[in-house]
Chains A and B, each alone.
Chain A
Amino acid sequence: MFCVCKNSVIKAIRRALTLAPIHMVLVMLILQAPQPACAQTATDEYKVKAAFLFHFAQLVDWPSDAFNSGDQSLNLCFFDDEPHLQELQGALEGKPIGYRVVHVRLLHPTQPVQGCSILFLGRDDGRRQTASLRKLHGQPVLTVGESNNFLSEGGIIRLHLEQDKVRFDINVGVADSSRLKISSRLLLLASSVTLSDQAKGGQ
């Protein structure tokens, strides 16, 4: 047995804990949390988002010059430090879309974005998003992102969660200036549709 407990450490801890009663509340909440809260099974967010990406690819038309002639692949780009890469890549690699096949391309965080039909930007890196969207402005690349300011910075489709369900917004203005045609079915399902190409002013 040790008499360490009598010294100042414990006092310091007590003080720290009383300073942060929220932690204690949390611990109590955990112990008493209602059990059936998750009776409804939940699916991994990014597996569902991967399926959304697949549908977007099906419901968007690229201009004919967007692909190299003879190239059968539809390049879906992620940055290689994307935290949910496994889920996204696993669900999409090799999936047929029309007469093309989805090919997942990994981009190095510092490399310029090129050769992508679709670019997915996770919610974490604001600076990279700004730079990538500015660079892709006007190019036939379907940009899909998650951050709050994704559409206002010139992105085309923004995914977000509403009470644990996936929703999306579309900026048709940017899609138009990128010469992408978005099917009306997708527009009908979107939570909101923005018409203006606000990104023009932002350069």
Chain B
Amino acid sequence: MIHPRSCFSGFFARLSDDFTAISGARSVLILAVLAMIFLPAILAHPQQGSDSDLTQTSLEDLMNINVTSVSKKKQKTSQAPGAIFVINQDDIRRSGALNIPDLLRMVPGLDVAQIDAGKWAISARGFNGQYSNKLLVLIDGRTVYTPIFAGVFWDSQNVPLDTIERIEVIRGPGAAVWGSNAMNGVINIITQNSADTQGGYLSAGIGNISTGSETLRYGGKIRGLGAYRVYAEGFHYDSLPTLDGLDGKDDWRLFHGGFRADSLLSAKDSLITEGETYQGDAGEMATAPISLTPPETETVALHDVYSGWNLLSRWSHTVSPRSQTSLQLYFDHANRDDTTYTLGLNTFDIDFQHHVALGTRQDVVWGIGYRLSSDDTGPTLRIVFTPQARNLHLFSSFLQDEITVRPERLQLNLGARVEHNDYTGIGFQPSARIVWTPDSKNMFWGAISGADRTPSRSDTDIRVNYAALPGPGNMPILVSLFGNPNFKNERLVAIEVGHRNSWTSTLSIDSTIFYNRYRDLVSVEPGATRIETNTAAVHLLVPSYFSNGLHGETHGLEFFANWKAANIWTLSPGYAYFSMHLHPFTGSQDFTDAPGTEGGAPDHQAQLRSSVTLPHNLQWNASAYFVNRLRAQSIPSYTRVDTDLVWNAGERFSLSVVGQNLSKNLHPEYAGPSTTVQTDLMRRSAYAKFTWSF
């Protein structure tokens, strides 16, 4: 067992080590960056600021100002008692982040590790990997995970950060509301209402890793109906070095564009329509079998090419002040391939929800939904799906009831979701949550939830040929992993307790403790070696199969606070402890996956973010993230330091300079086992960004 005390002191010693290191040679870089920004700011004429202070405008004049009207419905989730962290626009502006994964680093308890320039492993509460499959990600209500492996291709999913309204991150099961896959968490990305993005907007950035990024956006009004925006964004990331110091050939490019329209059809009906199309490519180095004759297996530079489009529409109708309905449908098309796989995917989804207040004490949301996922894969020497193409139907319904037991004191939330999928049939995922607010400053909550991770195509239908080797008597050996058509749901029962406290108006604290019990977790079982003759070269096959051979427990603690230390200074510390124990069921012969998964998540993560508002319309933000070692992957612990300085030159222009990874140049963050690409090293980087609103 690990003694928390020793780890704490170890952590702080390390942190201070890092800071002393920074004050050494590295400070030169930081100082140079700071000087670069401060100089023009100091030289510039101080901004008057009165033009933006409307309180100095007379009431009569105020009444003549045209305002952008906004009608936002609060999302139920942001009020929900639970392990929720919300990243708002201000956090985004201050973060200096260039993409969504970088932004997610600020969420305490979320495990964000970059693999190469365009690939990340992101998860909550363990099981992290390039193909993490226990986290649900939604963009404006559209599920962006792929049913091929039930995870997210982060390289093709991006939203211009300047159009994000907020990102809600829920750690812990959300399956009773969101469905299977929301097993260990939900990331809900919500873009701004187009009424809030009126006029023109241009941003351009350049740096040593993000070698170019441009966003162009324009928002206008639809006569008598509402507002719209159209946008396009393109960026390029330079390749990172490999562990051996060679070029990782992993440069990443994405170009995407889209629109969103928000309209009021009547006083009681509103409609959101949005769509996007994207195209991009990313390199990677991967070890793959290329032939059954020598040289069989090589580390090759692959080139992932992906494209797609999607269209979503949501109609919300107010039946009465106590009853609202919404109907949402979307279609999503995605293609991607490199030379070792091809994949095409169409998703059609329709969802209906009804929110109604019953009596004075009950608030009910229920809904039904249907999703059709239709894929087509191309067989290659590396990856084969059988069958090659498949249509999958998912039927779902859910009900959530918020019951006020004692007004303003005690509340009980009961909910359940029933789903039917083609692999495992009907599944039932319930949750119960109790909320107690003893006084004005404290809120305690506790929850018990059941969640399933339903099989994906890669659990049931895949064959991956990992390696080809020269064998005895000129007969090659092929090492392969097979999906299991009888793969069952991975199941979870989670118990969580949390406390939120606002001691004073300047300090708030949020802490959560959880205990998770998993059954039927995926294992890899060895199969009998045999001779395979159905290909050109007869070879010896060393197979292994997916099975549900593991069970186990995880527990942990997540803590964060927000402290307004002074009017101009906010400090946000966070800490997460995590521990996992997995065991094989009797009969399972998987002795390698359990330690790999156990040691694939950091047991300690800590962070400190600081944000200072300076004179001359300057903002200075800095953050330090400590991630403890990944013992199964020989990834040493690291502390990542990011800082940025933003100068708002009047209402229309802003200039920011960002330094990332300042403390530790060339460190790896993730190295499998759940990854198929070669790990690259994170480099110290800097970039500058300019924005113009017109």
Contacts and interface: CB of A to CB of B under 8 A. Distances in A.
Interface of A: 2-5, 7-10, 12-13, 16, 20, 22-23, 26-27, 29-30, 33-35, 37-38, 40-52, 54-55, 59, 80-81, 83-84, 86, 91-95, 103-112, 114, 123-127, 131, 149, 161, 164-167, 185-186, 189
B90 A16 contact: no
Max chain B Cβ within 10 angstroms of own Cβ: one of A37, A86, A126: A37
Contacts of B57: 51
A165 B63 CA distance: 6
A45 B68 contact: yes
Contact of A91 (B53, B90, B408, B502): B53
Given A9-B372, A105-B505, A126-B322, 16 more contacts: A4-B346, A7-B391, A30-B228, A42-B67, A43-B66, A44-B67, A51-B62, A84-B70, A86-B88, A106-B502, A108-B440, A108-B500, A108-B502, A127-B357, A131-B408, A166-B65
B222 interface: yes
A90 to B, nearest CB: 9
B440 A16 contact: no
Interface string B226-259: 0010100000000000000000000000000001
Contact of A108 (B73, B88, B271, B437): B437
B221 A111 contact: no
Interface string B343-384: 011101010000001000000000000001011100000000
A30 B261 contact: yes
Contacts of B505: 103-106
Contacts of A38: 198-199, 219-221
Contact of B55 (A92, A111, A125): A92
B60 A81 contact: no
Contacts of B389: 3-4
Nearest to B86: A81
B199 A29 contact: no
Contacts of A104: 505
A23 B273 contact: yes
B437 A164 contact: no
A131 B407 CA distance: 10
By Cβ-Cβ distance, the 3 closest A-B pairs, closest first, are A111-B440, A2-B344, A51-B54
Interface in B154-176: none
A50 B54 contact: yes
A104 B253 CA distance: 45
Nearest to A162: B63
Nearest to B347: A9
A189 B68 contact: no
B6 interface: no
Nearest to B410: A110
A55 B66 CA distance: 18
Contacts of A45: 67-70
Contacts of B441: 108, 111
Contacts of A20: 313, 329
A166 B64 CA distance: 8
